Amino acid sequence: MSTDFWSEADNLLIRYGGRFSPRIIERAAGSYVYDSDDRAILDFTSGQMSSILGHSHPDIVATVTESVSNLDHLYSGMLSRPVIDLARKLADSLPDPLQRTLLLTTGAEANEAAIKLAKLYTGNYEIVSFDRSWHGMTQAAASATFSAGRRGYGPPTPGNLALPTPNAYRSPFRNADGSYDWESELDYGFSLIDQQSAGSLAACIIEPILSSGGIIELPLGYLARLRQLLDERGMLLILDEAQTGLGRTGQMYAFERDGVAPDIITLSKTLGAGLPVAAVVTSAEIEERCHERGFLFYTTHVSDPLAAAVASTVFDVIERDSLVERAARLGTILSARLSTLRDAHDQVGDVRGRGLLQGLELVESKASKSPADVLGSAVTAACLDRGLHLNIVQLPGMGGIFRIAPPLTITEDDLHKGLDILEASIAEVVAAQSA
């Protein structure tokens, strides 16, 4: 039966990037997914970095059941109470002046809408993003994505400019003592932006922690300096908190650490706890000007009550179960365990991230810092054999970077269990390659 399944997959599916995991998944519950042999696999990626409440959370199941039974989808010009309830919770959770919400379904869709708002509000069209960015696969979002997928599809949207990703581990910008000089790198990046610009800079869209880009965390102070540079040029700041929002970093939103609020924030992934829910939140000033200028984003599932009800339940569970604080506490444990791994193995080059969104970069050696794609693939396979699913970044030269993002509901025992498997797998693969 397994052979038939994979044969049909080859014949019937369009492959959309990377390789499929070699297990047929039948069900999921809590922090585990179960394959066709009913083998439990600890999920250290929360599905696609989304299921922050774990799989089949009872509150989400109850909400979906009730919504499907009573009110799931409406004509896009109709409104329901769940949409207003969610918009109120979003506004209450965010600093002023972020108060007006557009409810959508996917992260790419939310970023499309945010970019359109920025262009319409400013009257300009140029969008700046990191050179390792990933904001989605639809036109404007893909054009602001520099890490992959740019070749073979014709011209991207004009006016997309790249800013150097502040990768402290690999950046060539260094102070005299060897420490990372992100200030000079950022200033240099904007000098290039200014040279490339046609005089129509509209916005900068970034993740506070780049995920597909390799779990790259912005240095403390970076966001504040970026805000200054944008203000000097009349640009808006769009934060894509698809993976960092709703508690994962140990704060409700990752930008809170820096005390720098965006002009527009996009949420997805974590907002739906594994279901397709996304939102754009901005100020009354931006919304009103864009409305006056005819802002149009009329989609089939805009303001769907089912999506609103699910996201509202996510907020309720996070608050009731103190999951933000839990992510911070478990994140401290995760950081300590990963740091121990780094100190113990010459092939563990760097550990980075916050809360329950952290990364571990494998290299050929600490001295060379050479990317270790083959090693990463071998460790991934060894982990899966032991019952742990880990995700490596699926980009050339980055296949040794693990993204670790378990559900916020994971038990401390399961967190240690997964890290024990990772430690054993690294030791086994390194020993085998050295033999």
Which residue numbers are catalytic?
Answer: 134, 207, 240, 243, 269, 403
Instruction: Check the CA dihedral 92-94-96-102 and report its sign.
Output: negative
Residue pair 40/28 in contact (Cβ under 8 Å)? The answer is: no
Q: How far apart are CA 290 and CA 288, in angstroms?
A: 5
Residue 231, φ and ψ in degrees, nearest 5 = -60, -40
Instruction: Check the CA dihedral 62-265-197-168 and report its sign.
Output: negative
DSSP 242-306: TTTTTTTTSSSSGGGGTT---SEEEE-GGGGTTSS-EEEEEEHHHHHHHHHTT-----TTTT-HH
The half-sphere exposure of 84 on its side-chain side, counting CA atoms within 13 A, is 4
Distance linking the first and last C-alpha atoms of the chain? 37
Q: Other CB atoms closer than 10 Å to residue 285's CB: what's the count? A: 12
Residue pair 410/29 in contact (Cβ under 8 Å)? The answer is: no
Residue pair 386/424 in contact (Cβ under 8 Å)? The answer is: yes
Q: Other CB atoms closer than 10 Å to residue 155's CB: what's the count? A: 6
Q: How far apart are CA 418 and CA 70, in angstroms?
A: 40
Alpha-helical regions (H) of 279-396 = 284-292, 305-320, 323-344, 373-385
Tokens of 357: 């969104």
Chain centre distance of CA 324: 17
Instruction: Check the CA dihedral 202-207-211-214 and report its sign.
Output: positive
Residue pair 190/229 in contact (Cβ under 8 Å)? The answer is: yes
The half-sphere exposure of 375 on its side-chain side, counting CA atoms within 13 A, is 29
Q: Closest Cα to residue 205, out of 156, 150, 140?
A: 140
Q: How far apart are CA 298 and CA 77, in angstroms?
A: 9
Tokens of 161: 């400019």
Q: How far apart are CA 342 and CA 330, in angstroms?
A: 18
